[in-house]
Structure 1
Amino acid sequence: MKFSEVVEKLSDATVEGSSLTTHENCNPQIQGVASVREATPGTLSYIEGGKYAEMVETTKASALILPLDEMLQERAIAREIAWISVSDPKWLFAQAVKLFYKPYLPQPGIHPTAVIDPTANIGKACSIGAHAVIEANVKIGDNVCIFPNVTIYPDVEIGDRAILHANCTIHERTRIGNDCTIQSNAAIGAEGFGFVPTSKGWIKMEQSGITILEDGVEIGCNSCVDRPPVGETRIGRNTKIDNLVQIGHGCQVGDGCMMSAQVGLAGRARIGDRVILAGQAGVSNDITIGDGAIASGKSGVTRDVPPGQTVSGFPAIAHRLWSKTSVLQMRLPEIYQAIKKLQKEKK
């Protein structure tokens, strides 16, 4: 489509309060989207800020989404490249991707090899793939997509428009809300790691609780959300969980959280709303992390984190303090030699 058509569609997609400026002297044909470094003629790309200004000169993209930066706009005009300017270029680029790419979803229907218990209740316009297994008393909403080899245990409830990708497993009594996405090989509602130490060894505690995913939750490939011995494990609305994440039994995760790959929550951790846990961050048993807090990559959170605080390191401490101690740590050999010298001088 022409750049002017792209602008029109993106104008409809802008969020309330955002400003949008266009440069309409150029109107190239746009055939797709690409990163600014890998862009080719006919593609649309974006630049987040002034530190990427040189990319305006070197990119092969036919059009750019720019921030509200006059310097970048002037460079684009001088180069005679089409552009659109908005307060959040990355967000708008995400909307542009949707114009050119639609994720694969099969047509509604039930594959003849699917095994569905007669007591299961399947909603309207669902797609159920080859060799999927849906056991007794399962309730599935409308427009749900279940890919091949998915296994759904008894008494599970799944809301409207959920997508369950190939080979994921939903264990008994799990509750999944509307518009949730479960990626391949994830396990939702499996037994938590519950064992009681005795003089005769470890005794298994049965995990009789349930797991609940609220509306809009997304779970990445090979991630696990365990059910507890009693009560519930709950993931709040619109929380997004990456691949290879472990959510232990009894955890309570708030709304709008983001967890990157290899994050691990031990049992009964309590995570507030809008919390960000970067890659490989770990949270100990019974820890509370307040609303809006951030744990940077590889942090080991062993004590409660107040709302809004950013922590780093192991054990995790306030990020600013961790930055100072990291600098000192790199100087330890130098400091050690200085101390040795002082000790010799005293003798």
Structure 2
Amino acid sequence: MTGKQITLGQLVDLLSAELHGDPDFVVTDAGTIRECKSDWITFASDEKHFRKFEDSEAQVAIVSCAMPESAKMTIRVEDPVASFAQTVRLFRKMMKPRTKGIHPSAIVSATAQLGSEITIAAGVIIGDHVSIGDGSCVLENTVLMDGSEIGRQVIIFPNVTIYDNTRIGNRCILHAGCKLGSYGFGYSSVDGRHLLSDQLGYVEIEDEVEIGANSCIDRGTFGSTLIGEGTKIDNLVQIGHNCQIGKHNLICAQVGIAGSAATGDYVVIGGQAGIADHVEISAKTMIGAQSGAISDLQQANYFGTPARQITKAMKEFAALRKLPKMIKQLRQIEKQLEAISETAESSQQDAA
């Protein structure tokens, strides 16, 4: 429990909503149906969740105006998700806005160019010729190496490492522990030894990109590894050197994209999928979780390894489920054929 309380009457006034229930009922917290207690409030955004609410311990929910009447209390709104988010904020302590300025323990190069209204938290290290745009926030123990460029209103969470010459656009969010600009996995085999190839490129992140915790993006060999505008990258994603990721992609957790691969705009890649090197993925393609793309993919929905169009993949999986029964039937047929063959041979011998 948060220690905060609000009556349904007060909440309805804040949400400009319609109440079906007791305005004096006191709410002490907000949560999903699965975790909701009798004095909490929850939400139901569709009929499936509305039925779960009806069967749950919760006594009150924020629901769509289109939902049927309930024996329980409801707050009816046009957008239950947005209204519930507004409600949760009444009970959850959000991250406090950081005090503007530079913490005394931060190490900032004299050649760095710092914009106005920025925050540099404790333990941050800013190298030579780094530039940071207005309103950006760099949190604890982050390292910005020489020549990196940070745009306006960027939020960088703790323990991020940004290698030299990395370029980050405006309004990006970099979550804790992500690494941008590390060396690509490129080696030349000479005289039985693996020698690191040239790592002279950089990473470029366009505007409004979000990169999840502990994700890694390698620098290009000579040019850029590019992440297009508006792309959202989940936690624990690896993007190899020279990759060119399009605009507004959604890349889920634990995806691995090998070097020099490219995606068009609005591509969606499910969790733990793998993209082989130099593969090109067309715009608006969707790749299912744990799929493996080993060759270029045209716009469609794909699943499986190697990735193939999902309708074909589902038919193949359905056929595989029948395989044990088919093998059993095949063995029975073989036995029947053997019996027929033996009978025929015996008849021929008798006739002789």
Note whether the superposition's TM-score is higher than 0.5.
yes
- Rounded Cα–Cα distance in structure 2 between residues aligned with 1:181 and 1:198: 41
1:315 and 2:306 correspond: yes
* 1:311 positional shift: 1.0
- Rounded Cα–Cα distance in structure 1 between residues aligned with 2:89 and 2:283: 31
Which moved further from structure 2: 28-37 or 122-131? 28-37
1:161 and 2:153 correspond: yes
Note the aligned Cα RMSD (angstroms).
Answer: 2.4
Once the two structures are superposed, residues 88-147 of structure 1 have per-residue CA deviations (whole angstroms, 9 ceiling, x without a partner) of 644554455455542344322222221111000112222212221100000011222212
- Rounded Cα–Cα distance in structure 2 between residues aligned with 1:67 and 1:254: 36
User: Aligned pair in 2 of structure 1 residues 3, 247: CA closer, same or farther (>3 Å)?
Assistant: farther
1:73 and 2:61 correspond: no
2:12, 2:75 within 8 Å by CA — same for their partners in 1? no
- Rounded Cα–Cα distance in structure 2 between residues aligned with 1:242 and 1:105: 24
Aligned to 1:280: 272
Aligned to 2:121: 129
Corresponding residue SS for 1:73: coil
User: Aligned pair in 2 of structure 1 residues 2, 125: CA closer, same or farther (>3 Å)?
Assistant: farther
Q: Which amino acid aligns with 1:196?
A: S
Corresponding residue SS for 1:225: strand
Q: Unaligned regions of 5+ residues in structure 1, if any?
A: 12-20
Aligned to 2:53: 56
1:326 and 2:317 correspond: yes
User: Aligned pair in 2 of structure 1 residues 5, 121: CA closer, same or farther (>3 Å)?
Assistant: farther
Once the two structures are superposed, residues 146-201 of structure 1 have per-residue CA deviations (whole angstroms, 9 ceiling, x without a partner) of 12211110011111221111111001111111221111111011111111234543
Corresponding residue SS for 2:68: helix
- Rounded Cα–Cα distance in structure 1 between residues aligned with 2:14 and 2:282: 38
* 1:283 positional shift: 0.8
2:63, 2:74 within 8 Å by CA — same for their partners in 1? no
Corresponding residue SS for 1:334: helix
- Rounded Cα–Cα distance in structure 1 between residues aligned with 2:26 and 2:303: 46
1:201 and 2:193 correspond: yes
Once the two structures are superposed, residues 231-287 of structure 1 have per-residue CA deviations (whole angstroms, 9 ceiling, x without a partner) of 211112222111110011111112222222111111122122222211101111122
* 1:2 positional shift: 5.5
Aligned residues between the structures: 331
- Rounded Cα–Cα distance in structure 1 between residues aligned with 2:87 and 2:256: 33
Q: Unaligned regions of 5+ residues in structure 2, if any?
A: 1-5, 339-352
Larger Rg: 2
Once the two structures are superposed, residues 45-96 of structure 1 have per-residue CA deviations (whole angstroms, 9 ceiling, x without a partner) of 2223222332232345464332453xx3312xx32x132243x644554455
Alignment of 1:139-218 (within 5 A): 139-218=131-210
Which moved further from structure 2: 180-189 or 1-10? 1-10
Corresponding residue SS for 1:331: helix
- Rounded Cα–Cα distance in structure 1 between residues aligned with 2:122 and 2:280: 42
Corresponding residue SS for 2:69: helix
Corresponding residue SS for 2:217: strand
